[in-house]
Each structure stands twice: as structure tokens, then as C-alpha cells.
Chain A
């Protein structure tokens, strides 16, 4: 126990001192605005902006022109895939989650797995109510059923 990282004062101060020293990934060090590194990052930001705009335009065109011609399942799947793609770009680049250490990424992203069950269960429930209402219209038209 005499040697170990926790005895190193240079590391220990991270717990008590200036928390900002815990910047991670690209955020770990400051650099000049005019440096090549800084310019490369700004370029990446505008590239992602361009991609997000293109996806949005594709979504709107799909909503205007394709939704009447393609089957609901196909067009909605396309919309959902594009939505997830957009949010992945926002979270990983704009929110810099892609630059964090692996375990921090996991801590943030793993709880989202719950959504798979959350969505399936509740949409299935809604569909079931519709079936019940169809089989017994009096349930649905309850305003009239006296």
C-alpha cells in the first residue's frame, strides 16, 4: 500500500481542488483559437451542421412527398432511423460525449436500453385498447352509451 496512485499528491488534488482540471478528451487542454487544432474542430462542427441540415431536408421531403406513396411501416422506419442518426450526431459531437472516457459514455447510454421495453410495452398496450374498442363499439362511443 505504500506505493500507488492514491498517494500521489498531483492526482489527489483533483478530488479537493479545482474540478475543472478534470476536463476530458478534447477538452483536456486549452489551445489557441487560431491553432490548426482549433480550426480543425470548428471545421468538424460545420460539417456536422451540414449533415444535420441535409437529414432534416430529407425528412421534410419524405414527409411531403413519400409518405403518401410508401407503406406506413417503411416511411416511419426511415423517419425513426434518421431521427436516431441526428440525435447520435448531436450527442457525440455537439455534447462531446464521443470524447469522454468509455465508462462515462456507458453510464450515460446504458440506461437508454430501458426505452426498448418502454416503447414496445406501451405501444402494444395502445394497440390492444384499439382492438377492444373495435370489438365493442359501445366502449368507444361511451358518450352515447347510457
Chain B
């Protein structure tokens, strides 16, 4: 039976070669990211379920209308657009670091990793500001449970017409649910960004020390890069679910 096969055209799963042509570490990073994608989507889909079950829901253009140092100016979506742009740019600098790695360009890897780390820290700072700002408006995990509270406490979060007609129970439940999901999901994402920044710092140290130059390749930069791009990818969906829909 083996007489009919020749080595010239090996089948992908015929043995003798790696069918995926990818190293073990990279496959495992992809598998991990796939599982992480299911974790994040479980969060986002349960957010969707709760939203579909609610009679009213906070309006993103009202909740997210502030910008640092702009006081009471009404700038809906502007700050989160800035955050999104920062994260996209840090993804670009990461892919440029990976590219420099392919070219064995140590200086390039160092330069672009530094920019990526700066981008990640800038994003986290923006998130810290946004959390603090919302917290000053009374939002946190488990907030807005007081059914006797005046409607004024919700005026940051709803369209005036919706606020007018809603019952105390509807306002309390939807706002409480909204912020539980908001802090959980952006918090889980922020935790990913934080660990991504730490990984980036670690591989930057290794690059500076010449560990990868000695090894002959920068695959580690590539693997951490996959993780970093995934974090950007998740933000694309968080941005849509919380700020646009």
C-alpha cells in the first residue's frame, strides 16, 4: 500500500511532517486565546441576555459623555474613542515589534515594544479615570439598589423621556445590572491589559539582554504579540456592546 505514495507530495496528516507548520508554543497560545474568547463572549452574551430581558436600559451616549478636564461639557463617546484609538495604535506598534523580530532587528523590537508598553499604560490610565468618574456618579458593583431614591440619581444615565416614564424598580434594576456587567467586563479586560503590559515588559527585558538574539529568533515576541492583539480584539467587541449598541 505504501508503494503508491511518494515523498514528493506528502499529505498534511500523512505523518512525517507537522501538519500545521506551527510550533507547539504558538499552537498552545492560539488554543488559550480561543478558550479566552469563549470566556469573554460568555460575559458579553449574558450582558445581552440581561439587556434583552430589561424594559429599559441606560443610554451609552448619556453614561459616557465626559472627558477629563472638560468639566460638564457634553462629549458623548469621545473619551472611549480615544481609548479605542490608543489600543489600536498599541496593537500596531506590537505588530511592528513582531515584524522587527522576524528581521532579527533587535533595536526595532526594543523601540516598538516600548511604544506598546506606553500605549498599554495609557489605556489603563484612561480606564482608571473612567472608572473613577463613574464611581463619583454613584456607580459600582451592586450600586443603585435603593428603590426609594429620587430619580435624580439616574439622570446621568438615561434619556430624559425614558427617565420620566420609568418606574423606580425598572431604573434600579437596569442601572444596577448595567454597572455590574460594565465593571466586571471592562475589569476583566483591564486585567488582561495589565498582564499583557507585564508580559511585554518581561520580553523587553529579555530582548535588551540579548536572550532572543542568542536564541536566534524572536518567537517569544510573536507569542506575546498574539496575546496583545487578542486583548485589542476583545476591546473591539466590548466597545461595540457597551458604547455603540
- When the two chains form their complex, are residues A76 and B245 in contact, meaning their CB atoms are under 8 A apart? yes
CA distance A30 to B109 in the complex (A): 14
CA distance A127 to B240 in the complex (A): 20
Closest Cβ neighbor of B216 among chain A residues? A20
Take A31-B103, A42-B96, A126-B51 as given contacts and tell me if A90 and B236 are in contact as well, using a CB distance cutoff of 8 Å: yes
- When the two chains form their complex, are residues B108 and A126 in contact, meaning their CB atoms are under 8 A apart? no
Closest Cβ neighbor of B89 among chain A residues? A49
Take A56-B81, A108-B30 as given contacts and tell me if A130 and B99 are in contact as well, using a CB distance cutoff of 8 Å: no
Which listed residue, B5, B51, B216, touches A4 by the CB 8 Å rule?
B5
Question: With an 8 A cutoff between CB atoms, is B222 at the interface?
Answer: yes
Please name all residues of chain B whose beta carbon is closer than 8 Å to the beta carbon of A123 when the two chains form the complex. Answer: 45, 48-49, 52
CA distance A100 to B20 in the complex (A): 8
Please name all residues of chain A whose beta carbon is closer than 8 Å to the beta carbon of B2 when the two chains form the complex. Answer: 1, 3-4
CA distance A41 to B96 in the complex (A): 9
- When the two chains form their complex, are residues B21 and A87 in contact, meaning their CB atoms are under 8 A apart? no
Which listed residue, A3, A59, A90, touches B91 by the CB 8 Å rule?
A90
Question: With an 8 A cutoff between CB atoms, is A19 at the interface?
Answer: yes
Q: Name B1-21 residues within 8 Å CB distance of A.
A: 2, 5-7, 10, 12, 14-21
CA distance A46 to B96 in the complex (A): 9
Closest Cβ neighbor of B104 among chain A residues? A30
Shortest Cβ gap from A115 to chain B (Å): 6
Binary flags per residue of A30-68, CB closer than 8 Å to B gives 1, else 0: 111100001001100110010011001101101110010
Question: With an 8 A cutoff between CB atoms, is A70 at the interface?
Answer: no
Closest Cβ neighbor of A56 among chain B residues? B84
Which listed residue, A31, A119, A141, touches B48 by the CB 8 Å rule?
A119
Please name all residues of chain B whose beta carbon is closer than 8 Å to the beta carbon of A38 when the two chains form the complex. Answer: 99, 103
- When the two chains form their complex, are residues A63 and B219 in contact, meaning their CB atoms are under 8 A apart? no
Question: With an 8 A cutoff between CB atoms, is B137 at the interface?
Answer: no
CA distance A64 to B45 in the complex (A): 24
- When the two chains form their complex, are residues B52 and A127 in contact, meaning their CB atoms are under 8 A apart? yes
Please name all residues of chain A whose beta carbon is closer than 8 Å to the beta carbon of B118 when the two chains form the complex. Answer: none
Which listed residue, A8, A86, A112, touches B236 by the CB 8 Å rule?
A86
Please name all residues of chain B whose beta carbon is closer than 8 Å to the beta carbon of A49 when the two chains form the complex. Answer: 88-89, 92
Q: Name A71-112 residues within 8 Å CB distance of B.
A: 76, 79-80, 83, 86-87, 90-91, 93-96, 100-101, 103-104, 107-108, 111-112
Q: Known pairs A5-B17, A87-B236, A96-B98; list 11 more (Cβ under 8 Å).
A: A4-B5, A11-B17, A22-B23, A24-B22, A33-B100, A83-B237, A95-B226, A115-B41, A119-B45, A140-B170, A141-B167
